[in-house]
C-alpha cells in the first residue's frame, strides 16, 4: 500500500427520480457527461494518486472509452457496482492501494478543489471527515400521519455532502463490520459512527449539489453556463 489519497467515484445508480431513460450520471452538461466532469476534478489534483469508478455493469465499457478519450489517467479501474450504494462503495475501496480514500458521488460535478482539499486536511487532522453545509431551513420531524412531532435545533444540523474522507483500513473495517451486523447506512460516515469512530465536519459550499431531479439538472445547466462564461 502506498501513502497518500485516492478516490472512489460512485456512479452506479439508476436515478429513477430524474424521469429520463438515461441514468443521470451519463447526462451531458456543456457537452460532457456529468460523471466525466466529476472524475476530471479529482484527476487534476496533484495529490490524488488513484481513482476507481464504480458504475453499472452495462456501463463499464462506455465509461472506459470516455476515460481514455478525456485523458483521465489516474483512473485505475472501472468496476460494476452492487445492488445498493453501500455494496458499491465496498467493491470500490477493495480496489484501492492508498492509505486514505475519498468517497464521492458521481453526480456532484460542481465540488471545488478548495472543498476537496479542505475535506482532506480535516480528515488528516481529525481521523475522518465529511463535507457538509449548515442547514438553512427550519427542519420539522413529522409522523406517519403528517403531523409535526418536533423541531430540532437548526444550529446543530448540517446537510452532508461528498466527498467523505477516511483511512482506507478504517473504512474497510467499518464496511465489513456492517456486513456482519446486517447494518445499512445512508453514507459512509454512518458506518464509522457504527463502530465508534469519530467523524469531523468540513464546511463546504451550497453549490456542491447532487443532481437527482429534473430541477437539479436545470440548475446544473445554469451553473455550467456560468462556469464557462466566468472561466472558473
CB 27 within 8 A of CB 13: no
Distance separating alpha carbons of residues 25 and 36, to the nearest angstrom: 9
112 found inside a domain: yes
228 found inside a domain: no
How many structural domains comprise the chain?
A: 1
86 found inside a domain: yes
Q: Which domain holds residue 128?
A: 2-220
Tell me how crowded residue 30 is: count the other CB atoms within 10 A of its CB.
14
130 found inside a domain: yes
C-alpha cell at 138: 427550519
Predicted local distance difference test score (pLDDT) of residue 18 = 44
Q: Tens digit of pLDDT per residue, the chain (232 long)?
A: 556 999 999 998 765 444 455 567 888 787 889 999 999 999 999 999 999 999 999 999 999 999 999 999 999 999 999 999 999 999 999 999 999 999 999 999 999 999 999 999 999 999 999 999 999 999 999 999 999 999 999 999 999 999 999 999 999 999 999 999 999 999 999 999 999 999 999 999 999 999 887 777 777 777 766 665 555 5
226 found inside a domain: no
230 found inside a domain: no
pTM of the model: 0.91
| DSSP secondary structure letters along 75-101 | EEEEEE--SSHHHHHHHHHTT--EEEE
227 found inside a domain: no
Q: List the CATH number of the domain containing 143.
A: 3.90.550.10
127: three-class secondary structure by DSSP = coil
144 found inside a domain: yes
Amino acid at each position: 500500500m502506498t501513502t497518500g489519497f485516492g478516490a472512489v467515484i460512485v456512479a452506479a445508480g439508476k436515478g429513477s427520480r430524474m424521469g429520463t431513460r438515461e441514468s443521470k450520471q451519463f447526462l451531458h452538461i456543456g457537452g460532457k457527461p456529468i460523471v466525466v466532469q466529476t472524475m476530471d476534478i479529482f484527476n487534476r489534483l496533484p495529490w490524488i494518486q488513484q481513482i476507481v469508478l464504480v458504475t453499472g455493469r452495462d456501463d463499464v465499457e462506455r465509461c472506459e472509452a470516455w476515460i481514455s478519450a478525456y485523458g483521465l489517467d489516474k483512473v485505475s479501474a472501472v468496476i460494476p457496482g452492487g445492488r445498493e450504494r453501500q455494496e458499491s462503495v465496498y467493491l470500490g475501496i477493495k480496489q484501492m492501494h492508498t492509505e486514505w480514500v475519498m468517497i464521492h458521488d458521481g453526480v456532484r460535478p460542481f465540488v471545488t478543489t478548495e472543498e476537496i482539499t479542505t475535506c482532506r486536511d480535516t480528515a488528516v487532522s481529525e481521523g475522518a471527515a465529511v463535507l457538509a453545509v449548515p442547514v438553512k431551513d427550519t427542519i420539522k420531524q413529522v409522523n406517519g400521519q403528517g403531523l409535526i412531532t418536533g423541531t430540532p435545533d437548526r444550529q446543530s444540523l448540517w446537510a452532508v455532502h461528498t466527498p467523505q474522507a477516511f483511512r482506507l483500513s478504517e473504512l474497510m473495517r467499518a464496511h465489513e463490520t456492517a456486513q456482519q451486523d446486517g447494518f445499512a447506512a445512508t453514507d459512509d460516515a454512518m458506518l464509522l459512527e457504527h463502530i465508534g469512530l469519530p467523524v469531523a465536519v468540513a464546511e463546504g459550499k451550497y453549490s456542491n449539489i447532487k443532481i437527482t431531479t429534473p430541477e437539479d439538472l436545470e440548475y446544473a445547466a445554469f451553473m455550467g453556463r456560468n462556469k464557462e462564461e466566468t472561466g472558473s
